[in-house]
Amino acid sequence: MSIRKTWFLTAIITAVVLATTLCLPTSAQNVPGVTSTEILLGGTHPYSGPASAYAPIGKGILAYFAYVDDHGGVYGRKIVYKDEDDAYNPPQTLQLVRQLVEQDHIFAMFDPLGTPPNTVLRPYLNDNKIPQLFVATGATTWGADAAKYPWTIGWQPDYRDESAIFAKYLMAHQPNAKIGVLYQNDDYGQDYLGGLTAALGSKASQIVKSVSYEVTDPDVTSQIASLKSSGADTVFIFATPKFSVQALVTISKLSWKPLIFLNSVSNSQTIMRATTSAGGPAATNGVISAIYLKDPSDPAMASDPGIKLYKAILAKYSPGADPADGNYLYGMAVAFTMVDSLKKAGKDLTRDDVMQAAIHLHETDNPFLLPGIIVADSPTDRFPIREEELIRYDAGLWHPFGGLITARR
């Protein structure tokens, strides 16, 4: 009885399993994810969890693809973007992406967000020769380790480049500056600090003090106090929005007036306004930062065709979204580069073609980037955006100055 039952149950389970297997779609084409009417791309963004402030990037991408699809798609094919919520949790990212690859048969991964999630995806996608395109993180490794991982490429200016741009300006204008640095103690903050040290070269000894904080710290008051007492006259803030606000307000409250460089991660209008209301105009006036995307909240940009297009697309395809949140713009700008690469890859699309297109970019017409910025790379320089413009805050607005600075060597 017992043995017969065993076999009976086993048979049932096996039958069920076989039935599910047979029902799974098998890719009919030789190129997964590409049919005569569709291109299927996969993505991951944190729609939930601690990093969900970045979720609008995914929504911006979806809105832009919907707009492109309504205007004929790419060579008549619609772009279908299967964007999953990985909650910024690498094991979950890997499982979701394996499902996208092995069950949904996506053509490529586009814009997975975050350094840890992309780190866990990279060996798997490269082993299977699946493009991992324009990842949403500024770590240096995406461009620097291309020899080992040829199917992976970044997009945004990397953190080290931004540091180098700041250093270039400082050395030209205040070569004897005494530098203090506040940085977040993780890969992002350390990349910024490393970039600054490298760009300063022999002048790196002018960094008189660097202090770090943990994302779990309540505030950075003691860090700022120790920077002040170090005698620094220039401060670099490599911090996420909440801590940047605290740092700027504390500096102002201590009646300290150093030259301040603020990383682009924290320079949105929303943040600057919050700082001004908490610490007065003195807390923000004269702060220097850098941008590469157009600023949707800048009134001077209101008549810019790129910003107008951005607002129109957002209103139609992502109703209810706040256009002042630059993350939507980021999503559209990177989606533009994706569409550009698909077009360049040609009508007979293969994974190899799109990868070749992605490492031979020369995009001069991205409407969401600052005028003059060229998205360009090559097999030996796999950093698509390496230009930024410095901006100075004054009387409630960012003012660009000095033109584009490149970190290309």
Partner 1 sequence: MKPALIGAFVVAMAILPMVIPQFLSFQLTYAGAYTIAIVGLVILIGKTGQISLGHGAFMAVGGYTVAILAHSGVGYILSIPAAAITAGVLGVGLGAIALRLEGIYLALATFALAASIPPLIKRFSSITGGAMGITLPSHSELELYYVTWIVAGLLLLLAYLVLRGRVGLSLRALRDSEAAAVSFGVNPVFYKTLAFGWSAAYAGVAGALLADATAYVSPDVYGIPLSLTLLVGAVVGGLDMIWGAILGGAVIEFLPLWSQKINPAFSSVVYGVALVAIITFMPEGIAGAIARRLRSPAPRTS
Please check whether residue 388 is in contact with residue 157, taking contact to mean a CB–CB distance below 8 angstroms: yes
The DSSP bridge partners found for residue 369 are: 293
Span near partner 1 by CB under 8 A; candidates 93-101, 289-297, 305-313, 354-362: 93-101
Asked whether position 53 contacts partner 1 by CB under 8 A, the answer is no
Asked whether position 103 contacts partner 1 by CB under 8 A, the answer is yes
| Shortest CB 346 distance to partner 1, Å | 30
* Alpha-carbon separation of residue 407 from 158, 195, 239, 264 (angstroms): 10, 11, 21, 15
Please check whether residue 210 is in contact with residue 180, taking contact to mean a CB–CB distance below 8 angstroms: yes
Asked whether position 28 contacts partner 1 by CB under 8 A, the answer is no
By C-beta, is 77 or 105 nearer to partner 1? Answer: 105
The 3-state DSSP class for residue 179 equals strand
Span near partner 1 by CB under 8 A; candidates 112-120, 220-228, 231-239, 287-295: 112-120
Asked whether position 52 contacts partner 1 by CB under 8 A, the answer is no
Please check whether residue 65 is in contact with residue 81, taking contact to mean a CB–CB distance below 8 angstroms: yes
Q: Which of 32, 35, 38, 116 binds partner 1 (CB under 8 A)?
A: 116
Residues 6+ apart with CB under 8 A from 179: 170, 200, 206, 207, 208, 232, 234, 235, 236
DSSP state of 346: -
Span near partner 1 by CB under 8 A; candidates 7-15, 33-41, 197-205, 244-252: 7-15
Asked whether position 27 contacts partner 1 by CB under 8 A, the answer is no
Asked whether position 214 contacts partner 1 by CB under 8 A, the answer is yes
What is the maximum alpha-carbon separation in the chain? 89
Span near partner 1 by CB under 8 A; candidates 114-122, 173-181, 219-227, 357-365: 114-122
Q: If binding means CB under 8 A, how many residues of this protein chain bind partner 1?
A: 50
By C-beta, is 123 or 371 nearer to partner 1? Answer: 123
Concatenated DSSP letters of 144-191: HTTTT-TTB---SPPHHHHHHHHHHHHHHH-TTPPEEEEEESSHHHHH
Backbone conformation region of residue 129, classed left if phi is above 0, alpha if psi is from -120 to 50, else beta: left
| Shortest CB 192 distance to partner 1, Å | 13
Asked whether position 222 contacts partner 1 by CB under 8 A, the answer is no
Asked whether position 216 contacts partner 1 by CB under 8 A, the answer is yes
Asked whether position 91 contacts partner 1 by CB under 8 A, the answer is yes
Length of the chain counted residue by residue: 409
Q: Which residue has the tokens 């480049």?
A: 161
Asked whether position 32 contacts partner 1 by CB under 8 A, the answer is no
Q: Which residues bind partner 1 (CB under 8 A)?
A: 1-3, 5-6, 9-10, 13-14, 17-18, 20-21, 24, 47-50, 83-85, 87-92, 94-96, 98-99, 101-103, 115-116, 119-120, 123-124, 127, 185-188, 190, 214-216
